[in-house]
Structure 1
Amino acid sequence: MPVNWLSEIIARGKEVALVEGADRVMFAWLANEIELQTESLRQHKVSAGDPVILNSDFSVAGIVTLLALSCLKAIAIPIVNLRKELIPVLKSECGARFLITPSQDGRIESLGASGDHELYGTLRQRNASGLVLLSSGSTGKPKAILHDFDRLLQTRKKAGAHNHVTVLLFLLFDHIGGLNTLIKTLLSGGTAVIPGARHPDAICATIEAQRVNVLPTSPTFLNLVLLSGAYTRHDLSSLRLVTYGTEPMPEELLGRLRATFPKIRFVQTFGTSETGIARTRGSRSASTLFKIDSDSQEFRICNGELQLRSSNQFIGYLNSSEASVTEDGWFRTGDAAELTDDGYIRLRGRLKEVINAGGEKVIPLELETILLGHPEVADCVVYGMPNAITGQAVWVDVLPKGPMNKSELQRSIHQFLVERVPRFKIPSRVTLVDHIQMSDRFKKKRVRL
């Protein structure tokens, strides 16, 4: 018999649960494997409340192990491409006691005695499983974010079933968006497809081969699909919905996507590692505006910053202060935002990326949207660099559509912008590049160290 409500729901599924390469895993098989892995973990002395490093990206074995850890009420720390030097940090800051690498025959390695963390007591009092997510750490060391994993799972259980859909697991296994996609798909009886690689041709080929209906991804990756022409080499007619998040969508790019894929609906999603993924509703597919339409999340905008409060809010940071949470329990997202007259949210970018040029504020996303309207600009990234006179200067890296030398491009961009923006927003330096720098989560890198 299934060990708890999670495997009971999974066992009810009638369709294919997971697709990985040529393997197609049925729900009944998945439920049985979760039970077998739960027992294997017990035999290896993994107990409720034990923090366990799960070194894996999406894979059938990785998913089975994650859900087995939940059944066991252990604390999963999923990490894609674990670096060896991170293990001692995870032992000291997260109390990690075991390491599992599912691709290596599911070997369970004991890390020896590790210190405990006081926040784990909250999970034990609730008899709940845990989840630790590491922030990207783009401006410092990653924060270890502790969640009640049972609560995240229960939220998706309450969401109820919907028509069967096939969803591509594009976002990573250690990303709140990727895990949200997995849980939502499995608990609603859908099919989750694991990609073999995450470059435009590989993703488009997988959509064609598996007749994928839903693609959760980022604006930066969608632009890569356009620039590569991969969509012209594969049949994407099964794709009905593209959800985009992790970073704001430039309106000019959304226009390009809508013109290229007129039959696909595009929806802005929003969430953070600390508060989970909110259900959103857009004003229309051609707009980047959205509302948070969720009983479990509420929002407010204070001094131009979007703040969230969620019933799924994280328990706390294992290795950092709670400075990002207000005294009345609101999480400061760090996202610059504004509210339209009809109640929709417009994201303007990250507050830490705002450029202060001689006292004038420049929002990189807004300038990028304008630059994408230039006929010779395929993509660009705007960022601030230190300047002895103005404090910061506006710089931009530009990926041109065709051959163009630097002086021609600089002159063309200056002429294009001078009629569209105030002078302080015109970049003092334009750099031609053959690719735009992005993170391993397919977000543009606007912060230069």
Structure 2
Amino acid sequence: MREERNWISDRLASFGDGIALIADGQQSSFNAIGQAMMSWQALLAHQNIACCTVIINGDYSCAMVGAILALYTRHCVVVPLNRSSSERCAAVARTTGASWIIDADHPGDLQALTTQLPTHELVAGLFDRREAGLILLSSGSSGEPKAILLSLERLFAKYRDAPRSRPRTTAAFLLLDHIGGFNTLLHCLFSGSTLVKLDSRDAVSICRQIAEHRIHLLPATPTFLNMLLWGRAYETYDLSSLELVTYGTETMPESTLAALNEVFPAVRFKQTYGMSELGILSTRSESSDSLWIQIATDDVQVKVVDQILWIKTRTAMLGYLNAPSVIDQEGWLCTGDLVETRGDYFRILGRGESLINVGGLKVLPVEVESRLLSLPFVKDAVVWGRKSPVTGQIVAATVVLEGELDTDDAKRQIMLHCQQGLEDFKVPRHIEFVTGRLHSDRFKKIKVASQ
């Protein structure tokens, strides 16, 4: 197995003094990442850290990346956290059964943990096979965060065996403890691309950094891209280097995608698909302005049952450590995403559980949100189901307005606009206005539960 891992050192060395990472004003070459990996390997060997679960706490840095690679070579299960508090680290350690906590910013500060918990059978299986793993935590929006165990062997093999792609300077928009951020890191490391850590994730700062570092690729969320349109910071900075914007993690409103293509005609927009339980799958968008996508790899199987997408892939999770598995005996995972199909292409309509049932008629929140966002004075909107004694539910909308528009006038314009473009049962009957934001720190819309 040690020989099999030499490909990492060889791959990094092949890119030599090329810039692998720009973070906090420092540039780190691929050679520097390789040196950091070897330094961590020596430290881990000295502490006899191998075949165990390790929390690595930090952010994008040469030390953090080197530590992750070194833990992989030591057959460890890696739990990346984003500069979390000691209380958060302790809680995650209890959930994951971690034996060590490592602060990437302070390599000498290795915290050994004692736990009374037996090693989970899925983790023990990895150790028995001398394979490395990755644990990611769900958001916990619907209860205790789920600890998702993936095989690092399979995730790394995807990049080891893939044809080399053209290197692109890439923004690290998603964090390392997110499957999208972890995937971006691996893609950049093993393709010779430069990864740029963002010093801030507001639209103005990101536009500034795209211009400063001549970034080619921006992975983002639809929510952030809508904010980018509203802020108009793109008018202030030179974004001519930008070639590709990928988006995922939530459903893209059609009106937002249309506006993006109008504002950035030279940029290609590509929808990605993935989830922590699956990894990030290779996709192909029908066109830059289309929401229809195709899984673009032969090693992934797709089926649709009752309009819900099911996927079978080698990179799927091994299971949850603290919840029943959602993968059936044949290896199929129910994504919960509602889709429509057209040949080999499919279009994501939203989460199956987010459907609003108005007297037996189904309403997709994203369809109504797209209509609302096409109004020039609607800055953001979340659509949800409100309980009704007559129809079971009615369509409700929480709206953030731009400027100081009178709310009564705004409500009248919204109703008229929706009546002109939506079927009657899809028109919001309850509209509430709020200030502030409707998204999480990860730039993903916060859904409102039925009330």
| C-alpha deviation, 1:358, in angstroms | 3.1
C-alpha deviation, 1:164, in angstroms: 2.2
Structure 2 counterpart of 1:199, from 197, 202, 212: 202
- What is the TM-score with the length of structure 1 in the denominator? 0.94
Question: Retained in 1: the 8 A contact 2:337–2:350?
Answer: yes
Residue identity matched to 2:415: H
Alpha-carbon distance, 1:296 to partner: 2.5
Indicate if the aligned counterparts of 1:353 and 1:447 stay in contact, CA closer than 8 A: no
Contact 1:279 1:293 in 2 (8 A): yes
CA distance in 1, matches of 2:45, 2:387: 54
Counting only pairs closer than 5 Å after superposition, residues 140-289 of structure 1 correspond to structure 2 as: 140-289=143-292
Q: 1:113 to 1:43 in 2, by over 3 A?
A: farther
* Residues in 2 aligned to 1:399 and 1:113: alpha-carbon distance in whole angstroms: 47
Return the offset for 1:87. 4.0
Which one-letter code corresponds to 1:271 in the other structure? G
- 1:386-428 Cα offsets, whole Å, 9 max, x none, are 4444433322122234431111111111111223223222212
Structure 2 counterparts to residues 416-435 of structure 1, below 5 A: 416-435=417-436
- For the 8 Å contact 2:20–2:29, the answer to whether it is kept is yes
Task: Give yes or no for the alignment of 1:328 onto 2:330.
Answer: yes
| Corresponding residue number in structure 1 for 2:79 | 77
- Residue 169 of structure 1 contacts residue 181 of structure 1 at CA under 8 Å; is this kept in 2? yes
1:351-373 per-residue CA deviation (whole Å, 9 max, x = no partner) reads 12112233322110111112222
Structure 2 partner of 1:381: 382
Flag the 1:63–1:106 CA change in 2: closer, same or farther, 3 A: farther
What is the one-letter code of the residue matched to 1:168? A
Counterpart Cα distance in 1 of 2:190 and 2:72:
14
Deviations 1:121-167 (A, max 9, x none): 22123321110011112211111111110210111111121222111
Q: Quote the offset at 1:88 in angstroms.
A: 4.5
Deviation, 1:240, is 0.4
Asked if the contact 2:381–2:438 (Cα under 8 Å) also holds between the matched residues in 1, the reply is no
Task: Give the RMSD, CA atoms, in angstroms.
Answer: 1.9
TM-score (norm. length: structure 2):
0.94
The farther-off stretch of 275-284 and 432-441 is 432-441
For residues 187 and 377 of structure 1, do their structure 2 counterparts lie closer, same or farther at Cα, with a shift above 3 Å needed? same
Secondary structure of 1:119's match?
Answer: helix
User: 2:36 & 2:432 partners in 1: Cα distance?
Assistant: 52
Match of 2:70 in 1: 68
Identity %: 37
Q: Give, in whole Å, the separation in 2 of the partners of 1:20 and 1:106.
A: 21
Distance change in 2, residues 1:208/1:21 (3 Å): farther
Q: SS of the counterpart of 2:225?
A: helix
* Aligned-partner residue type, residue 95 of structure 1: G
Q: Is the 8 A contact 1:356 1:362 kept in 2?
A: yes
**Match in the other structure for 2:57:** 55
Q: After TM superposition, list the pairs within 5 Å mapping 1:41-52 onto structure 2.
A: 41-48=44-51, 50-52=52-54
Whether 1:120 and 2:123 are equivalent positions in the alignment is yes
What amino acid maps onto 1:101 in structure 2?
D
Consecutive unaligned residues in structure 1, runs of 5 or more: none
* Letter of the structure 2 residue corresponding to residue 336 of structure 1: L
Letter of the structure 1 residue corresponding to residue 217 of structure 2: V
Structure 2 unaligned regions, length at least 5? none
Deviation for aligned residue 1:84: 4.2
**Deviation string, structure 1 residues 68-100 (Cα, Å, up to 9, x no partner):** 111111111112243544445433432111111
Residue type of the alignment partner of 1:272: M
| Corresponding residue for residue 406 of structure 2 | 405
2:97 equivalent in structure 1: 95
State whether residues 157 and 187 of structure 1, in contact with CA within 8 Å, keep that contact through their aligned partners in structure 2. Answer: yes
